[in-house]
Structure 1
Amino acid sequence: MTQPSTPTYTLAELAEHLDARLVGDGSRRLNGLATLKDAGPDRLAFLTNPTYLKDLAATAAGAVLLHPEHAAQCPVDRLELDNPYLGYAKLSRLFDPLLSRPPGGIHPSAVVADDARLGEAVEVGPLAVVEAGVELGDGVVVGPGCVIGAGARIGRGSRLHPNVTVCHGVVIGERAILHSGCVIGGDGFGFAHDGDGWHKIAQLGRVVMGDDVEIGSCSSIDRGALEDTRIGNDVKIDSQVQIAHNVQIGDHSALAGCVGIAGSTRVGRYCMLGGGVGLAGHLTICDRVQVTGMSLVTNSIEEPGVYSSGTGAMQNAQWRKNAVRFKQLDEIARRLARLEKRDPQG
């Protein structure tokens, strides 16, 4: 593979890319991003959180990306933008050396089926396997050790980091990013019990993913049992997430680390699930629902909003007392009902 190099841009080029207001020397060349404290004259710093405003006056950065309300306090050249955090996100991709280097072609140790169809500028890394009938769009990067199962399709501009597994028949949209160790299209957890042992149910569906999806490392998205598991456009899934068979996730939703979703649950559009959230099976979560970290959802949610469950951490002695009270809740409720029945007016 070609060794990544660090791209450089003039401040004017960066301003044009962001449609930001440039104040200063547009010909200044910058080769990366850095914090206000660490940036040198060849780096662009950024101010997205007022907590770090104290570092602005002493910065040695070549330029700073910030909101216009802080412009008067900036001692160096600057780019002004109403949403500097979004600007930072866009610039981070410009300076990513992996995205700027030329494609490395097909490595001699890779195994690519004769009938696989590869678009232009496709890269297949060392020891990767591309099985029969696979379609890879223009600019797809398949990292070292990846396996692409028979008949899978991956849209243009997608990148698979090392050791990703895309199982047979899976469909992945354009510009996807799949991080190391994730498995897309493994078998769902389906078994029938005969009273003595388990009998496996063949998982006959696929996983179908939209465009601009990102999947974190060591996450698993199971193929459908009969219908497809579906992941919408612009869905962002963190590391170590488990999505079971036949789940559907709507466009623009985001799942933090260690989320678990049981089979056949449907998550709407623009939903956010915090770290460690668990969704029981066969539920429907409507659009624009936020579930806070470590919550367990056992019923469908029909109204947008923020939902939580569980209790916060506390000293063990207090928790033990509360746990005893929790076991007594049913009896307390019954006693309260009897009292209210005797005296309805309270």
Structure 2
Amino acid sequence: MKISLKELANKFNLKYIGDENHEVSGVATLTKANTHQLSFLANSKYKSQLKQTKAGIVILSDKDKGEYAGNCLISENPYVDFAKVATLFQNTKPNFKGIHTTAIIAQSAKIGKNVCIGPYCVVGENSEIAQDSHLEAHVTIGNNCKIGSNCQIKANVVISCDCKIGNRVIIHPGAIIGADGFGLARDKDKWIKVPQLGAVQIGDDCEIGANTTIDRGTLDDTILEQDVRLDNQIQIAHNVHIGAHTVMAGCSAVAGSAKIGKNCFIGGGVGILGHLQVCDNVTLQSMALVTHSIRKAGSYSSITPLQKTEDWRKNAVRFKHLDKLARKLQKLEKRNNDNRQQNKN
């Protein structure tokens, strides 16, 4: 599609400077864009690229507009507005229409209007898929599932029985929703599997990354509230509850029955132990290990920063002696305080 500077300004309620009839048909970075593409400046350290860019239109802030002589859109948040504009050029339409002849749909399943179901998909008994949702190839929907409207479920996704998916949810390839949680009971010298009888509920506007696993609850459901965004290869264990608008980066893991609040930012590789609570508006820096509940909003870190290997080895040895050193310091402080008290007397 092609769209002009004026049309973009009107559609996204932005001011503009330049040739209102100039059209673009795609997006690119400042360094790679051509005259038929739109770009953006959100970070001032890339401001020098404005002089060399060949972009047809640039989204930038009011304070930066004087640095650019070409066509531009003035934004209070250039990155957010770029994201909105970029959706115009995103191809989300399936490469097929209707239900593929190889798909297996249970007779009791209810399929809404304009639903596309790709090759070799399976939809189980009594499951429902609302209008305008798309299932790519080899998707499996178990029995008694409910899939909302305008969902995009990518290839090889598995949604096990009794799970509920909200509207406008995107689930990327290979994700598993509703696998059994890791529930085991010790019976003397052997393990007994604990049946996982709950399900998974995913709210509206969530996005689940590729090869991410969300386990079903043991009794109650595992829950993601609306607009939760999970990156690739994340593990969400049984009975976890994640609050609205929380974002988690790749390879993080949340153990069973943990509760994460709203508007949290969780970095890559973070681990959260089971049965803990993380309050709203918490940021966990990459590779942090959460071993106790967090009840105050803020940013938290827990891993040793990168060091040269020889320095790390020396410090690793010293870590073992921290408790002894702390005890010695306490004794010295006590002795010092006692001496001061005696001198006063």
**Does TM-score exceed 0.5, indicating one fold?**
yes
**Structure 1 residue identity aligned to 2:132:** G
Q: Residue 23 of structure 1 is aligned with which of 17, 21, 41? A: 17
> 2:278 & 2:109 partners in 1: Cα distance?
39
Q: Secondary structure at the match of 1:92?
A: helix
> 1:235 & 1:103 partners in 2: Cα distance?
29
1:305 corresponds to: 298
**Structure 2 residue identity aligned to 1:95:** F
> 1:121 & 1:105 partners in 2: Cα distance?
7
Q: Secondary structure at the match of 1:258?
A: coil
Q: Do the aligned residues in 2 keep the contact of 1:103 with 1:122 (CA within 8 Å)? A: no
1:183 corresponds to: 176
Q: Do the aligned residues in 2 keep the contact of 1:103 with 1:121 (CA within 8 Å)? A: no
**Structure 1 residue identity aligned to 2:211:** C
1:63 corresponds to: 57
> 2:135 & 2:37 partners in 1: Cα distance?
31
1:133 corresponds to: 126
> 1:157 & 1:91 partners in 2: Cα distance?
20
Aligned pairs (5 A) from 1:328-343: 328-343=321-336
> 1:222 & 1:15 partners in 2: Cα distance?
44
Q: Residue 6 of structure 2 is aligned with which of 5, 9, 12? A: 12
2:343 corresponds to: none
| Runs (5+) with no aligned partner, structure 1 | 1-6
2:208 corresponds to: 215
Aligned pairs (5 A) from 1:100-249: 104-249=97-242
> 2:66 & 2:303 partners in 1: Cα distance?
46
CA shift for structure 1 position 198: 1.4
Q: Do the aligned residues in 1 keep the contact of 2:96 with 2:118 (CA within 8 Å)? A: no
**Structure 2 residue identity aligned to 1:94:** L
* TM-score between the two structures when normalised by the length of structure 1: 0.94
Q: Residue 81 of structure 2 is aligned with which of 64, 87, 105? A: 87
What are the superposed Cα offsets for residues 314-334 of structure 1, whole Å, 9 maximum, x if unpaired?
A: 112211211111111222222
Aligned pairs (5 A) from 1:265-344: 265-344=258-337
Q: Secondary structure at the match of 1:98?
A: coil
Aligned length: 339
Q: Secondary structure at the match of 1:93?
A: helix
After TM superposition, the structure 1 stretch with the greater mean CA deviation from structure 2, 211-220 or 49-58, is: 49-58
1:47 corresponds to: 41
Q: Do the aligned residues in 1 keep the contact of 2:39 with 2:82 (CA within 8 Å)? A: no
Q: Do the aligned residues in 2 keep the contact of 1:41 with 1:62 (CA within 8 Å)? A: yes
**Structure 1 residue identity aligned to 2:181:** G
**Structure 1 residue identity aligned to 2:77:** N
> 2:160 & 2:6 partners in 1: Cα distance?
45
> 2:3 & 2:98 partners in 1: Cα distance?
27
CA shift for structure 1 position 110: 1.2
> 1:145 & 1:56 partners in 2: Cα distance?
45
> 1:41 & 1:342 partners in 2: Cα distance?
76
Q: Do the aligned residues in 2 keep the contact of 1:258 with 1:276 (CA within 8 Å)? A: yes
After TM superposition, the structure 1 stretch with the greater mean CA deviation from structure 2, 51-60 or 262-271, is: 51-60
> 1:331 & 1:73 partners in 2: Cα distance?
59
- Sequence identity, in percent? 42
> 2:73 & 2:328 partners in 1: Cα distance?
66
Cα RMSD for the two superposed structures: 1.5
What are the superposed Cα offsets for residues 57-92 of structure 1, whole Å, 9 maximum, x if unpaired?
A: 232222211112222232322211111100111112
Q: Secondary structure at the match of 1:107?
A: coil
* TM-score between the two structures when normalised by the length of structure 2: 0.94
1:4 corresponds to: none
CA shift for structure 1 position 54: 1.3
CA shift for structure 1 position 103: 6.2
